[in-house]
Structure 1
Amino acid sequence: MSALAATLYRGEIVENTHAAHVAVVDAHGRLVHSFGDPQRITLPRSAAKPAQALAVIETGALERFGFTEEDLALMCASHSSEPRHIERVRAMLAKAQASESDLRCGGHPPISDAVQRDWIKRGFTPTAVCSNCSGKHAGMLAGARALGLALADYHLPGHPLQAHVRRTMARAAGLPDDAVQWAIDGCNLPTPAFPLAHLARLFMTVADAPQDTPLARIHRAMTAHPELVAGEGRFCTLLMQAFDGTLVGKTGADACYAIGVRREHGTLGIAIKVEDGNTAVLNAVVVHVLEQLGIGTQQQRDALAAFRQPVVRNTMGVPTGQLDVRFTLHSHQA
């Protein structure tokens, strides 16, 4: 089956086409809708952060070091390196009796254009605490400290903390330990790969978690503090703000997205991968899938209208083309 999901036009001429894969599972983990290959082996990248945060919760680090709900949200974040993000990471490190020099993520240009302009004006050079993944790394350091493990090499696959993360990740995705493949992420931590449908299952379990369980804490933290999960004007933040606690969503590098939806007639998990790694296409595909599934109200979905069919403009601001997302989900329901 063709996985062509979107076409980018320049004028009326096709400039690019984009393939995508979608998996939607119900509250029992059953595949109910799909497009393309729902079993595509996928690197969730930062979309896996809720499961990595779950591993940190299980170490007892949150209670031991007095981490707040906001701190937990930042552990799940790909943040914009705004001052509020950097300041909170520094506070988390202090709580865990760790320092920025312990971090094994590197500084990089921020995701936010506004932050980038500010850094350029100030001649600021980003350090590890400015990494969009620094909240996750601070949580990992706290987890290692809580387990009485060495902080050195906490990021390496052979460290006992990462063995714990691997077990937690497989369990959260509903897979045996040996069914998850591993590589190294952009932030220098191990990153998993498994079938796309199991990423959907992971987010379904986050949305469906009973009250007062660790996964429910993660859901509450992310949906109550979406500005910490991403940042000003970012898709994840605007998505969760629009749906006001009923939807948890997280992006991953190279165009992967995962969503958990709370509904009266059954929780859903959704996972999407765009083959060429285009983030603008990914966001448009996410909105398209939400519309096809009838998730939320029209008003909630309209809050994401700017992402639905983004207009391409040249350096003079003249519209030169538009992205057209046009595909139909396949139903697996009897």
Structure 2
Amino acid sequence: MSRSELQPAAPVAATIYRGESVENTHLAHVVVVDADGRLLYSFGDAARITLARSAAKPAQALAVLETGALEHCGFDEADLALMCASHSSEPRHIERTRAMLAKAQASEADLRCGGHPPLSDAVYVDWIRRGFTPTGVCSNCSGKHAGMLAGARSIGAALAGYELPAHPLQVRVKQTVASVCDLPDDGVQWAIDGCNLPTPAFPLDRLARLFAKLAAAQDRHEAGAAATPPRTAALARIYRAMTSYPELVGGEGRFCTLLMRAFGGALVGKVGADGSYAIGVRASRQTARLGAKGALGIALKIEDGNAAALYAVTAQLLAVLDIGTPEQRATLDGFHAPKRLNTMGVEIGRMDFSIELAAHR
């Protein structure tokens, strides 16, 4: 029997109607865990091997942080936020990348990511109007790459080849990602991301566990817990950087930015290309009501990689789990329930959700 035959089938999470006819269905997997890694709820296959893509950036940033690179190169919390970003290539993102490179005594020529059309439509229109050609600093992953160069500098490794799997820095990254996800080194599969760095694949519940750990670390930091382990302190620092500078993690009008702004530090969220998303929710009455011991981690994967469906389902999950207030969740209405209009402004359809979480408590 093949591996695919052993794995649970992906159920339909969202259906798009044009009139009363089904136009598209979007299959998905969802997992909810607590800070101890206990499986609380699932939809589909909680163990679905998932390329986390940019949702793994906090774990990659952790590896850089643990080299001492931020202190060595004089990076601040905003720089750390950009290391975790899939940014919109706005001027503030590009300028900060350049400043980070200068602090790391590196140049744009050292970057092994390339330019591409921006994630922001407004930025794209501006670039077209100006005839602008994007280069490496304009990559939505440029902050991660600048951080990797700083990490290589910090451990005394060559800058050249920092993106290669066998480079000493990437060896550290691989070990850190596996460790923080509570997996053996060989429990993580690796491929090459769109930005040219190694990208991990692991069970979906481990992505949820990573984000639960981020939120739990911040809970411990704010509680002033004595003798906080260095890794916990580092995870809390990443949490604070992302939630303090959400405009650097995404950009104007982007889902991640709107989400973290609306919740004011109560949760952290990060998108991954081709249909993955993860959220870490700090401990509260709401997380306790859901059966969590401490913080909560949520991860999902849309099987067809559709970004619009991903954001809609993520927003729906917040409503299903009753995370935050209705007012906070309403900030995401443009992603959750956008009007489906044709070119004449006529409403032509809708999206319905069919997410029934199975409880594992």
TM-score bin (small chain)? over 0.9
Aligned to 1:177: 185
Residue 306 of structure 1 deviates from its aligned partner by 1.6
The one-letter code of the counterpart of 1:79 is H
Query: Kindly, what percent of the aligned residue pairs are identical?
Result: 70
Query: 3-state SS of the aligned residue for 2:58?
Result: helix
1:154 and 2:182 equivalent? Answer: no
Of the three residues 281, 287, 304, the one matched with 1:276 is 304
The partner residue of 2:340 within 305, 312, 319 is 312
Question: Could you tell me which residue of structure 2 aligns to residue 227 of structure 1?
Answer: 247
Residue 255 (structure 1) aligns with: 275
After TM superposition, the structure 1 stretch with the greater mean CA deviation from structure 2, 295-304 or 143-152, is 295-304
- Aligned partner of 2:152 in structure 1 is 144
- Match of 1:194, SS state, is strand
Match of 2:234 in 1: 214
Cα distance in 1, alignment partners of residues 337 and 357 from structure 2: 18
Q: Provide the rounded CA distance (Å) in 2 between the counterparts of 1:310 and 1:279.
A: 13
Is residue 99 of structure 2 the alignment partner of residue 91 of structure 1?
yes
Q: Please say if residues 82 and 231 of structure 1, whose CA atoms lie closer than 8 Å, have aligned partners that are also in contact.
A: yes
**For 1:87-126, what aligned pairs fall within 5 Å after superposition?**
87-126=95-134
Counterparts of 1:9-88 in structure 2, within 5 Å, are 9-88=17-96
Contact kept in structure 1, 2:53 and 2:193, CA below 8 Å? yes
Alpha-carbon offset, residue 325 of structure 1: 1.7
Which amino acid is the alignment partner of residue 152 of structure 1?
A
**Separation of aligned partners in 2, 1:47 and 1:317:** 35
Q: 1:164 aligns with which of 169, 172, 175?
A: 172
Shift of 1:308: 1.5
Once the two structures are TM-superposed, the CA of residue 319 in structure 1 deviates from its matched residue by 2.1
Q: Tell me if the contact between 1:309 and 1:324 (Cα under 8 Å) persists in the aligned partners.
A: no
Provide the C-alpha distance between the structure 2 equivalents of 1:2 and 1:143, rounded to a whole number of angstroms. 39
Provide structure 1 residue ranges, at least 5 long, that are not aligned to the other structure: none
| Distance in 2 (alpha carbons) for counterparts of 1:134 and 1:305 | 29
- The alignment partner of 1:259 has SS state of strand
**By how many angstroms is 1:2 displaced?**
5.6
Counterpart in the other structure of 1:302: 330
Instruction: Report the CA distance between 1:30 and its aligned residue.
Output: 0.6
SS at match of 1:285: helix
What is the RMSD computed on CA atoms of the aligned residues?
1.0
Name stretches of at least 5 consecutive residues in structure 2 with no aligned partner: 1-8, 222-227, 289-293
Once the two structures are TM-superposed, the CA of residue 243 in structure 1 deviates from its matched residue by 0.5
Mapped contact 1:89–1:138 kept (Cα < 8 A):
yes
Inter-partner Cα distance in structure 1 for 2:196 and 2:136: 11
After superposition, what is the alpha-carbon deviation per residue over 1:287-325, rounded to whole angstroms, capped at 9, x for unaligned?
Answer: 111111111111111111221122222233322222222
Q: How many residues align?
A: 333
Which secondary structure does the structure 1 equivalent of 2:183 belong to? coil
2:140 pairs with one of 132, 155, 161: 132
Residue 283 of structure 2 contacts residue 295 of structure 2 at CA under 8 Å; is this kept in 1?
yes
TM-score scaled to structure 1, two decimals? Answer: 0.98
Flag as ranges the 4+ runs of structure 1 deviating above 3 A.
none
Whole-angstrom CA distance in 2 between matches of 1:53 and 1:271: 19
Which segment drifts farther, 258-267 or 21-30? Answer: 258-267
Partner secondary structure for residue 202 of structure 2: strand
Match of 2:298, SS?
A: strand
Aligned residue for 2:47, secondary structure, equals coil
CA distance in 2, matches of 1:272, 1:141: 30
Aligned-residue offset at 1:326: 2.3
SS in 2 for 1:324: strand
CA distance, structure 2, for counterparts of residue 157 and residue 318 of structure 1: 51
Which of 286, 308, 324 aligns to 2:352? It is: 324
TM-score by length of 2: 0.91
